[in-house]
Amino acid sequence: MLLTPRICVSIGRENIDDAVTVAESVASQADVLEIRLDCLENPDIIPFIEKIKTPLLFTNRPKWEGGHFSGEEEDRLASLFQAVSENVAYVDLELLAPADSQQNMRSALQNSTTKLILSWHNFKDTPSREELVGRMAMMQDNGADIGKIITTAHNQEDALRVLQLQEVAAKLDFPLIAFCMGKPGVVSRVATCGLGGYMTYCAVNEKEATAPGQLSVAALHNIYDLMEN
């Protein structure tokens, strides 16, 4: 029996009013809404907190990890610290962020109910099982409430290798988001939650994917509906 999937819809609009509007329009189809602050021209978390009741995840992805933010690290983290002070559901910080960024985030989280997702993305390929398990161990050691490992699949073996990480995560009692980008990785986006993954990500629609191979929320729901029947 498949586990109930936790669906996160990623919002990557440039205009904040547009982003809030589209977030409201898909909120009923999502368990979590990811607000990509690095996509916004003038990032501000408050409009989302005031208008959206669905649990919010704030991400401010730097260019060096496939995002759009290119400014100073202090500025990048400021909105995430604000989100933590507002006790939002989640914030995402990169596993390879500077050590002081991670330390400051851990300090901020001590007085917050916000959960920390430490993430690692590989846009080129899928490393060996040993490296993937090592990345997961680093996330747990660095204080993550939830780990996130996203690689690029070139074949079905890559996708299977990433999905098999859930076996290790279960033994460690460590919530893990893990699937693959790219066409061969689409199946992993669908299957991950049924195999113990914490969450899967999708787009508002086919044109607004924030990562290669990302399905629309409508398509993902259709697939899950078919799997249940």
User: CA 32, CA 224: separation in Å to the nearest integer?
Assistant: 17
96 falls within a domain = yes
* pLDDT value at residue 76: 97
Residues 183-205 have pLDDT tens digits of: 999 999 999 999 999 999 999 99
* Domain hosting residue 124, numbered range: 7-228
Residue 87 has pLDDT above 50, yes or no: yes
In a domain, 109, yes or no: yes
CA 203 to chain centre: 12
Residue 150 lies in a domain: yes
- Report if residue 43 sits inside a domain: yes
Closest-CA residue to 144 (of 104, 106, 88, 89): 106
Residue 36 per-residue DSSP state: E
Per-residue pLDDT tens over the stretch 32-54? 999 999 999 999 999 999 999 99
In a domain, 14, yes or no: yes
Note whether residue 145 is domain-resident.
yes
Q: What angle do CA 92, 97, 101 make, to 5 degrees?
A: 85
As annotated, the active-site residues are 121, 148
Distant-in-sequence, close-in-space partners of 144: CB < 8 Å, separation ≥ 6: 116, 117, 118, 174
pLDDT digits (tens, 9 = 90+) for 112-141: 999 999 999 999 999 999 999 999 999 999
Could you tell me if residue 98 is inside a domain? yes
Structural domain contains residue 1: no
C-alpha to C-alpha distance for 142 and 62, rounded to whole angstroms: 19
pTM of the model: 0.95
Which CATH number characterizes residue 100's domain?
A: 3.20.20.70
35 close to 56: Cβ distance less than 8 angstroms: yes
Domain total for the chain? 1
